[in-house]
Amino acid sequence: MSPTVVTLGESLIQLNAVTRGPLRHVTLFERHVAGAETTVAVCVRRQGLDSGLITRVGDDEFGKCIINWVRGEGVDISHVKIDREAPTGIYFVQRGFPIPSKSKMFYYRTGSAGSRLSPEDIDPDYIGSAKVFHVTGITPALSETAKNATYKALEAAVSNNVSVSFDTNIRPVLWKTNERAVKTLMPIIEKTNILFTDPTDAIILLGTTDQDTIIKSFLDMGVDIVVLKMGERGALAADRNNRAFAAPIPVYVEDPIGAGDAFAGTFITSIVKGRSLNESLQRATIAGTLVVTVRGDEEALPTEEDIDTNIKHISIHPKE
């Protein structure tokens, strides 16, 4: 039996600056497990659905750290490969500089185990018997083999009627040009059922930041649900019949990285559990908000009960 939600992508070690400011002055770093699709798998599991991760890690201490963490969270690791030829990828996080409350990522992942993901890592039966397959625009940007693995996984999902969830997550440093990103990602979007994106990615993909045009364009491409994350302006979700809006929740930002994955993982879980578009969006917003209050992408991923507590709190004190 496959898990309900299967994700594909590079697991990374995140070294997060304990103090704010330029990294050249930072002397203390905290180690966390990260990687967009890894975080989604942990998020889904924390909220009570089975999840599984397809990835490669190095045969090193960081690879062991990732496996221990993900397994400890209850994610199925039967499709996590240990690659003896390449190290586990890492990245550093610089916080609060040059833009207060924003973070910058510095990758050390070229040639990493995760970037060597390839079609041979994809077991079509594993994906084909899940309910949802989730991937982001990061995975096909890693290498030609990782791109082919992504396409093979999508094929397995589509031919078995597994819902495809896709977060555009365009990381310009991983793409040589925007054109490459568009050429690679548009065919994925055509196969997507639940799409997460933001205005920064939409301008690359569609040349517009207009909400209505973004939503209509993706629905016209065959996407069932479009979710537009607009940061401090809240989030929108739309299908062919309904539209929902979630206001941003003002909060102290320690490190915004990982919010999008908490958001996606919670939205997917809520939809699979049969919740409405609106309720799924409100829950996703709460999860994304909680994650930015701490360093690390996965530590503050909420359980269902944590989200319920927040919903009560917000509805009792709507203005706080």
CB 20, min distance to ligand KDG, A: 19
36 vs 228, which CB is nearer to ligand KDG? 36
CB 35, min distance to ligand KDG, A: 4
CB 261, min distance to ligand KDG, A: 5
Which listed residue (261, 297, 306, 308) is catalytic? 261
- Cβ contacts of residue 318 below 8 Å, gap of 6+? none
Coil, strand, or helix at residue 163? strand
In 202-273 the beta strands, taken as DSSP E runs, fall at 225-229, 235-238, 243-246
12 vs 158, which CB is nearer to ligand KDG? 12
CA–CA separation, 103 and 310 (whole Å): 25
CA–CA separation, 209 and 311 (whole Å): 30
171 vs 243, which CB is nearer to ligand KDG? 171
Tokens of residue 318, six digits: 């709507």
Q: Give the binding site for ligand KDG (CB under 6 A).
A: 12, 34-36, 105, 138, 171, 257-258, 260-261, 297
CB 119, min distance to ligand KDG, A: 20
Tokens of residue 61, six digits: 């201490």
Residue 212 known to be catalytic? no
79 vs 217, which CB is nearer to ligand KDG? 79
Residues in the chain: 320
CA–CA separation, 84 and 69 (whole Å): 20
146 vs 156, which CB is nearer to ligand KDG? 146
In the chain, the N- to C-terminal Cα span, in Å, equals 45
Q: What is the dihedral sign for C-alpha 94, 255, 77, 151? A: negative
Contact in structure between 112 and 143 (CB atoms under 8 Å): no
CB 139, min distance to ligand KDG, A: 9
**How many of the other CB atoms lie within 10 Å of CB of 119?**
15
Catalytic residues: 261
